[in-house]
């Protein structure tokens, strides 16, 4: 298939892997302790497991699966809020598919749907807006979720809703932003990340500039990476080159998609509709300053948080969950006490078991091979 197969070529992968194996030998400190490279985005985590890349990398490289899976880091209290909205009369609640199974403290959206709530899966916020126009006697609420990747489409949808005078459309905004969370990880005393694979699709919107503090203040390299297996391998190779030379720069491997300055039109729409929250709760990581956005006053009429009375409770993860430690790379998924026992994709306890992009779910679904005696 064009534009995909080129980035999955096994011969090129073998050549790149050979270079990675040779290069890592030239980095003295990697010989004592593995280099910790964090892939920030869940899309990378998925790709790494889908193609079995982790087993092919040298022992001197340890991949840390970062917090960039918006479904995984959604706190339980927010899911409860979704259910509370969906349970209101004359509401059609719309959501992306993989948020359906995220457990709330009492139930998931999938369970609420089975109990009779009108909850529908959509592929884009524009589908939800179209649904609102077709159902003028209902209130259609869209569950806005994701990083800067999905934020522009939500913003544009609200702009259209206002321009078209659609008054029965609401947004329950749970959009989050990745930069403050990377900073929180870098400030965390119990971890040391040697380099980052930067999130490709987020960067398509925000560009490279927002990452500059990582090299300037923390002296760590970051390579904005694409999602195909060759993208991931090439990005790791670029990181190793920097580490060998003792450099810390922001580089872009995903040049076919990511412009240096990002997408100005998308950013303009986002800043017209959204503003930073003081803080936002992340599942497994806790509250992080300025890590979420809310709807601006000028779009208040579309804000489900202002229109509905929400429980808005903070609900702690079960004590046995070690999601936070996995997210920071302190332990591997299978080292968690409940991994594969009380916590599995069928009955996820912790955030990382929920979506296929979560590190624990990826380990469970694809990666248990190593954990079994051959």
| Beta bridge mates, 303 | 171
Dihedrals φ, ψ of 125, to 5°? -60, -25
What is the spatial distance between Cα 23 and Cα 240, in angstroms, rounded to a whole number?
7
Interface mask (CB under 8 A) for another protein, residues 171-190, using x and -? --------------------
Work out how close the CB of 367 gets to another protein at its nearest, in angstroms, rounded to a whole number: 7
Interface stretch with another protein, choices 218-226, 290-298, 328-336, 364-372 (CB under 8 A): 364-372
Q: Which of residues 225-284 bind another protein (CB under 8 A)?
A: 229
Of 163 and 369, CB closest to another protein = 369
Length of the chain: 374
**Contacts of 52 by beta carbon, 8 Å cutoff, 6+ apart:** 366
* Chain centre to alpha carbon of residue 333: 17
**Which of positions 189-208 make contact with another protein (CB under 8 A)?**
201
Rounded CA separation 249/239 (Å): 9
**Residue 117-146 contact track with another protein, rule CB under 8 A, x = bound:** ----xxx---x-----------------xx
Q: How far is the CB of 35 from another protein (least distance, A)?
A: 20
44 binds another protein (CB under 8 A): no
By CB under 8 A, is residue 116 in contact with another protein?
no
**42-50 and 229-244 are packed helices; what angle lies between their axes, rounded to 10 degrees?**
110
- Which range in 11-19, 29-37, 82-90, 278-286 contacts another protein by CB under 8 A? 11-19
- Name which position in 181, 356, 358, 360 contacts another protein (CB under 8 A): 356
Which region holds residue 143: left if phi is over 0, alpha if psi is between -120 and 50, else beta? Answer: beta
Q: Which of 53, 176, 197, 293 binds another protein (CB under 8 A)?
A: 53
Stretch that binds another protein, among 75-83, 91-99, 179-187, 264-272 (CB under 8 A): 91-99
How far apart CA 22 and CA 353 sit, in angstroms, is 35
340 token code pair: 């594969």
Q: Which residue do the tokens 């009429």 mark?
A: 301
Tokens matching residue 97: 């598919």
C-alpha–C-alpha distance, residues 91 and 116, integer Å: 12
Residue 59 found at the interface with another protein (CB under 8 A): no
User: Would you tell me which residues interact with another protein (CB under 8 A)?
Assistant: 1, 4, 8, 10, 13-14, 17, 43, 46, 49-56, 70-71, 96-101, 110, 121-123, 127, 145-147, 149-150, 201, 229, 345-346, 355-357, 365-369, 372, 374
């Amino acid at each position: 298939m064009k534009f995909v197969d080129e980035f999955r070529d096994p011969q090129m992968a073998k050549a790149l892997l050979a270079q990675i194996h040779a290069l890592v030998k030239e980095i003295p400190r990697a010989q004592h302790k593995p280099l910790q490279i964090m892939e920030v985005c869940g899309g990378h985590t998925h790709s790494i497991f889908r193609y079995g890349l982790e087993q092919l990398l040298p022992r001197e490289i340890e991949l840390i699966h970062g917090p960039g899976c918006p479904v995984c880091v959604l706190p339980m209290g927010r899911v409860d809020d979704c259910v509370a909205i969906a349970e209101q009369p004359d509401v059609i609640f719309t959501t992306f598919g993989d948020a359906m199974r995220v457990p709330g403290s009492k139930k998931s959206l999938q369970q609420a749907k089975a109990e009779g709530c009108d909850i529908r899966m959509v592929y884009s916020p524009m589908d939800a807006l179209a649904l609102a126009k077709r159902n003028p006697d209902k209130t259609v609420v869209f569950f806005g979720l994701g990083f800067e990747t999905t934020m522009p489409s939500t913003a544009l949808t609200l702009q259209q809703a206002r321009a078209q005078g659609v008054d029965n459309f609401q947004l329950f905004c749970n959009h989050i932003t990745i930069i403050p969370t990377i900073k929180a990880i870098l400030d965390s005393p119990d971890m040391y990340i040697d380099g980052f694979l930067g999130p490709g699709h987020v960067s398509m919107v925000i560009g490279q500039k927002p990452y500059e503090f990582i090299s300037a203040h923390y002296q760590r390299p970051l390579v904005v990476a694409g999602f195909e297996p060759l993208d991931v391998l090439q990005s790791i190779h670029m990181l190793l080159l920097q580490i060998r030379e003792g450099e810390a720069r922001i580089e872009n491997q995903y040049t076919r998609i990511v412009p240096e300055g990002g997408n100005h039109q998308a950013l303009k729409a986002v800043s017209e509709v959204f503003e930073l929250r003081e803080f936002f709760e992340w599942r497994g990581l806790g509250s992080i300053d300025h890590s979420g956005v809310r709807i601006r006053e000028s779009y208040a009429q579309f804000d489900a948080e202002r229109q509905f009375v929400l429980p808005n409770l903070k609900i702690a993860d079960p004590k046995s969950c070690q999601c936070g430690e996995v997210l920071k790379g302190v332990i591997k998924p299978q080292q968690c006490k409940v991994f594969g026992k009380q916590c599995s994709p069928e009955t996820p306890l912790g955030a990382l078991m929920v979506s296929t992009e979560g590190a624990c779910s990826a380990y469970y679904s694809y990666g248990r091979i190593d954990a079994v005696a051959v």
